[in-house]
Structure 1
Amino acid sequence: MVASRGTKEDTNMATIGNFTASGNGFVGSVKTLALGTVKTKIVPAERSSEKAPDYRIFAGANIEFGAMWKKKSQDTGREYHSVKLDDPSFPAPIYATLVEVEGEEGFSLIWSRSNRD
């Protein structure tokens, strides 16, 4: 499920990651201009409050660079995951959505930025 924030003309979207389910988390990779391709694992987090993330995101073995929350679309009722990635090389955090790829086994990490210049 990818939530739309306007018409196709005013939103740019890009797949920046591909994942497969692994136990109760996910494994795959994230690719950005700043990071290149990074092997990534997403593991369940111990939640201390309702606002705490459901998952933590790690690059390589143990470098945490993001968090993920379970969400449900109000429009369709489908579940998806809201992702926030951050790294000192980024000018700002990256917000993305992890969605199941229809007709395939796997998930895509979709980044989008609204063009409201």
Structure 2
Amino acid sequence: MATIGIFTQTQTGFTGEITTLTIQAKKVAIVAVEERTAEAAPTHRIYLGKAEIGAGWAKRSSEGRDYLSVKIDDPSLPAALYARLFAEDDGKTHSLIWTRSNARRQD
């Protein structure tokens, strides 16, 4: 597991940054979708400036902890990046956690 982003909650979702060896993205916005088109549709959209770079789905862990399962993709990436956004103990900071997976995750 690796923390690749730090976010704070806003009125419409979250704002923060993502940092990896190849990504240096500041002012990333995770915005709640007001009206979903289907049950499986994302609950959040992820933006870098005006460009949509991903989506998120509200989930609950087996321990009862709420989180966002996110998928970030960009033509510069060799494959989509999957991560989870969890609230820290302070309730203000949210960490974007990435774990390498050999198979596509089924959240």
With the shorter chain as reference, the TM-score category is 0.7 to 0.9
Q: Structure 1 stretches (4+) deviating beyond 2 angstroms? A: 32-35
What is the TM-score of this pair, normalised by structure 1?
Answer: 0.80
Q: Give ranges in structure 1 of 5+ residues lacking alignment.
A: 1-12
**Over the residues paired in the alignment, what is the CA RMSD in angstroms?**
1.7
What is the TM-score of this pair, normalised by structure 2?
Answer: 0.87
% identical aligned pairs: 50
How far apart, CA to CA, are the structure 1 residues paired with 2:11 and 2:91?
18
C-alpha displacement of 1:103: 3.3
8 Å contact 2:25–2:48 — kept in the other structure? no
C-alpha displacement of 1:104: 5.4
SS for the counterpart of 1:113 is coil
Q: Tell me if 1:91 matches 2:78.
A: yes
Q: Give ranges in structure 2 of 5+ residues lacking alignment.
A: none
* Relative contact order, higher structure (CA 8 A, sep 6+): 1
How far apart, CA to CA, are the structure 2 residues paired with 1:104 and 1:87?
30
How far apart, CA to CA, are the structure 2 residues paired with 1:114 and 1:59?
25
1:47-66 superposed matches below 5 A: 47-60=36-49, 62-66=50-54
Pairs aligned (count): 102
